[in-house]
Structures are given as C-alpha cells and as structure tokens.
C-alpha cells in the first residue's frame, strides 16, 4: 500500500502528522537529500516537500518528474513562498491540457 510523506522544517510540517501523513524533518537540503532519496525509492506515492528544501534538491526532483510515482508536490513553508509550487502546477496543467487554462490573464 502506498503512503504519503512530507519533508520540511519542523515548524512548517508538524501539523501534517495529525492528518496521518508521515513527516520527516530536515532544516536544509543537505539533511533532506538522503531522506528524499529513500522516500522516492520506497513505498511513497506522494511526497510533499517545502519549497525552500526543493530549491536545493531540484536536480534530484527532476529525475522523478517523468515517473508515475512518486508525485512530488511543493508546498510553502513558514519561511515564505518562493512561487515554485504554483509554477509547477501551471506547468503540469499546460502539459496535460495543451494550454494555460487556469492562470491566463
């Protein structure tokens, strides 16, 4: 059975544990890299990761972008929103539909 994981700093992701998700704390990309690799190659179908950590793991995350699992979803952390998460949603919609149907002005 597939599972859902969340990677990020303690303050940003602690609440996800109350929803039944598996949380993994990392304060920087160096700490997050081995955790991310283990989760991505394990039984996790969805991995949420804070945008700040994802910036430092961009090359590793890209390796999984064409695979059906895991789905890697960027979420804002308490330290701010970089905009990368919404950019990834926009890119996915454009790829699936052929045009920007959500964010066009």
pLDDT in tens, 38-49: 999 989 999 999
96's tokens: 């699936």
pLDDT at 25 over 80: yes
The stretch 71-94 carries a mean pLDDT of: 70
pLDDT at 85 over 60: no
Q: Is the torsion defined by CA of 57, 85, 91, 45 positive or negative?
A: positive
The H or E element spanning position 25 is: strand 22-25
Selected residue with higher pLDDT from 27 and 78: 27
Q: Residue 80: left if φ>0, alpha if ψ -120 to 50, beta else—which one?
A: left
What are the residues facing 47 on neighbouring strands?
A: 5, 72
- How many C-beta neighbours within 10 Å does residue 96 have? 8
pLDDT at 80 over 70: no
DSSP 15: G
Question: What domains sit in the chain, N to C, each tagged with a CATH number?
Answer: 3-80 (3.40.50.10580)
């Amino acid at each position: 059975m597939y599972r859902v994981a969340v990677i990020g700093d303690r303050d940003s992701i602690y609440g996800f544990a109350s929803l039944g998700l598996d949380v993994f704390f990392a304060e920087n990309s160096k700490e997050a890299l081995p955790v991310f690799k283990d989760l991505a190659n394990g039984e996790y179908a969805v991995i949420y990761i804070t945008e700040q950590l994802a910036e430092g793991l961009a090359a590793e995350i890209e390796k999984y972008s064409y695979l059906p699992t895991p789905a890697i979803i960027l979420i804002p952390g308490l330290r701010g929103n970089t905009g990368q998460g919404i950019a990834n949603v926009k890119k996915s919609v454009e790829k699936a539909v052929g045009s920007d149907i959500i964010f066009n002005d």
